[in-house]
Amino acid sequence: MTGIDTLVAAATPARPPERPNHLLRAGLVAGPLFVLTFLIEPALHPGYDPIRHPVSSLALGPAGWVQVVNFVVAGVLSLLFAAGLRRALRPGPGAKAVPIAVALWGVGLLGAGIFTADPVSGYPPGTPATPAAATIHGRLHDLAFSLPMFAALAVAMLALAYAYARRNTLGWAAYSALSAVAFVALMATAVAGFAQQSPVVEVAGLLQRLALTTGWVWFALVAGHEIRRASAAAVRRS
């Protein structure tokens, strides 16, 4: 019997170890890098008020290239994170919807960097609070990229909340759903302020930053959770 067992074992090759999902680490890096950059940048922009003005306005003026690069780098990292989530969630609920929504967020960031926003809320200095006519690149920034990408991130949060609920990870499901609610409420209020149609005009920039920070914290925490889950699964298989 020993000889037979040896032959069977030799005929059945060991399952190769699964490669680590390093793409998830992009989700850990993207948020802190983006937020740190937009916190430091106002020092490069005389007349810029982070409490009042949107993050996109940092792409205007001589030092605007810093925010353009910030958008592009965050977009690339978001696309890598989307690919990592696709692998981490497969198979099962959310394996398609969540990565697609995160990828659309990444594409929106790339577009927001390529097509700069129009002046708003009096920045750059000397421009009106609401420009008389929107430029083509300003419209593309707002309508083709910024608004769709904000919607995509909210969809990603809600889709992952549903996926985690289906996977019986109820704490993470609740956190993801609450993050979506907070993100949408803060961002919608900020957008109304930038349109000069709300009493929050003077704090619209702060509200937008709170919304973006909510989204990027979700990115990082989900990335950390999925990295830990993948590590635990690898230990169980070994």
The token pair that represents 164 in the structure block: 């985690």
Residue 199 domain flag = yes
Token pair listed for 78: 């978001």
As a whole number of angstroms, the distance between CA 216 and CA 156 comes to 12
Tokens at residue 103, please?
């990828």
In angstroms, how far is CA 230 from the centroid of its own chain?
Answer: 21
The answer to whether position 165 is within a domain reads: yes
Residue 72 CB neighbours (<10 A): 16
How would DSSP label each residue in 88-107?
Answer: HH-SSTTTTHHHHHHHHHHH
**Residue 14 half-sphere exposure, CB side, CA atoms within 13 Å?**
5
Determine the Cα–Cα distance for residues 186 and 209; give it in Å rounded to an integer. 9
Distance CA 59, CA 45 (A): 10
How many whole angstroms separate alpha carbon 86 and alpha carbon 125? 44
Main-chain dihedrals φ then ψ at residue 95, nearest 5 degrees: -65, -25
Contact residues for 148 (Cβ-Cβ < 8 A; gap 6+): 104, 108
Asked whether residue 220 is domain-assigned, the answer is: yes
Give the pLDDT confidence score for residue 9 in this predicted structure.
44
In a domain, 96, yes or no: yes
Q: What is the pLDDT of residue 112?
A: 96
Residue 4 within a domain: no
Percent of the chain with pLDDT over 90: 72
Work out whether the CA dihedral 189, 113, 213, 43 comes out positive or negative: negative
Domain-located, residue 40: yes
E strand spans, the chain: none
* Residue ranges of the chain with per-residue pLDDT less than 50: 1, 4-16
Structure token digits, residue 71: 């958008």
Task: Flag whether 9 is in a domain.
Answer: no
Is 30 contained in some domain?
yes
pLDDT at res. 18? 61
Which domain range does residue 108 map to?
20-237
What is the reported pTM?
0.89
Instruction: Give the number of domains in the chain.
Output: 1
pLDDT for the residue 197? 81
pLDDT at 133: 73
